[in-house]
Structure 1
């Protein structure tokens, strides 16, 4: 188990280093002047030179990279050129929306997908399974931004159960915050639940063909009991993989949904920073999101060892 964790920890550190290097090279070293890009092609040379000095672009690339990494390790992400405020403060304000939204959507997705996957696997070859698989295929095909607009039309415009957009802040209360995130979370969760339920069904059906399941059935367990007591845990590794990838997507890939619902999250922050040419914010937020993706993958690897005892012996 120690060797397994050590190997995964080294892979985590290497992935973070490579990711930081790629992000830095893309935004700082490729042909083109970031300062001129931020100010526009018609900016005065003196203004460009001042911004280059402020951003540290007049220093060698290795020195800028080390300074950037050192600042990030200390929680210093730099100063936004557009808003003239620390990027770390902007990220803290926005992550309070994006992280709960991603967790909310992930909980909804898992709560829908696992029962659906179990239901379909338990009724393999029946009309019920065919109907469930058709519904999940439809869930995969429907774009989440279209579903988001449909939810707004039905539940916000016509029924008026929810607001069409915006976020009141957590100071207004947890219930008010969760209510504002419900429609965006559903829009994000439905396509992910459709994918996860199909993966769970396939993994469960494959596990049901194993010898230990036949032994459990021979000892008198029903198909449903063998499915829930034995097959489910052994089918969790591919399911955990998809859950980990989905959380990463929900955290880093909700830009469209956050813009549809006017949520002040990280996705909307990146969108605004790109449109305003605020490369400092783009660089810092992208690195933070990449770190989140890699860390989630590392946690999923640890869960593998918890679920599968064979990995603990490595």
Structure 2
């Protein structure tokens, strides 16, 4: 297990280094002069020189990269050129919206997908199986932004059960805050639940056809008992992969949903910063999101070792 953990930690560190290099080169080197990009082609030379000095762009590429990475390691993300405030403070404020939204959506997705996938797999070929797979196919096909606008129309405008957008803040109470996130979370969760349910069904069907499942049935276990005691655990590895990928997507890829519901989260911050050409905010937020994705994948790998002990002994 220790050897497995060390290998995954080494892979985690290498992935972070490569990701930081790609982000830095893409945003600060490939476009040319970052100051000219941020201020536009009509900027005066003295203004460009002042911005280069402010952002520390007069050093070499290596010096700038090491300075940026060093700042990230100590929590110093710099100061936003557009908002004139600490990027770390901006990220902290937005993270308390994006992270609960992602967790809320992931919880809804899992609570919907697991029963649906297990139900369909245990009744393969039946009307229930066909119905569940038909619904999940529809869920995969419908774009989440269209579904989000439909939910706003029905539940916010017509029924007035929820607000059409915005976030009341955690100071208003947990119930009010979660109510503000409910429609966005559902809009994010249903397409992901459709994917997860299909993977759960497929993985379970593969497991149910294995020899050890026939042995379990031969020893007197019912189909349901064999499924719960043996099949579910062995079918979880591909499902865990999808859950990890979904959390990464829900945290880093909710830009459209956050804009539909006017949520001041990380996705909306990235969108606004790209529009304002604020490279300092963009590269810091993107690096943070990449870090979250890599760490989630690392945790999924560790979960593999817990679910399937055979992986712990691999060299």
Partner of 2:204: 204
Spell out, residue by residue over 1:255-290, the C-alpha distance to the aligned partner (whole angstroms, 9 max, x if none).
Answer: 000000000000000000000010000000000000
Q: Determine if the alignment matches structure 1 residue 195 to structure 2 residue 195.
A: yes
- Take 1:171 and 1:36, find their aligned partners in 2: how far apart are those partners? 41
Q: CA deviation at 1:227?
A: 1.1
State whether structure 2 residue 150 is matched by structure 1 residue 182: no
Q: Tell me, yes or no, if structure 1 residue 273 matches structure 2 residue 273.
A: yes
Q: In the TM superposition, what whole-angstrom CA distance separates every residue of 1:31-82 from its partner, at most 9, and x where no partner exists?
A: 4221111111111111011001111111100000000000000000000000
1:232 Cα deviation (Å)? 0.5
Aligned pairs for 1:81-96 within 5 A? 81-96=81-96
Instruction: Compute the TM-score of the two structures, normalised by the length of structure 2.
Output: 0.99
User: Which whole-Å CA distance do the structure 2 matches of 1:189 and 1:64 have between them?
Assistant: 40
Q: 4+ residue runs of structure 1 moved beyond 4 angstroms? A: none
CA distance in 2, matches of 1:165, 1:304: 38
Aligned residue in 2 for 1:155: 155
Give the number of aligned pairs. 314
TM-score by length of 1: 0.99
1:62-77 matches, within 5 Å, as: 62-77=62-77
Q: Distance in 2 between matches of 1:61 and 1:180?
A: 44
In the alignment, is residue 263 of structure 1 matched against residue 266 of structure 2?
Answer: no
What is the CA distance between 1:147 and its match in structure 2? 0.5
CA-to-partner distance for each residue in 1:109-155, whole Å, 9 max, x for gaps? 00000000000100001121111111100000000000000111111
5+ residue gaps, structure 1, are none
Conservation of the 8 A alpha-carbon contact between 2:31 and 2:37: no
C-alpha RMSD of matched pairs (Å): 0.7
SS across alignment from 2:163: coil
Q: Distance in 2 between matches of 1:137 and 1:227?
A: 25
Structure 2 counterpart of 1:113: 113
- Separation of aligned partners in 2, 1:173 and 1:197: 33
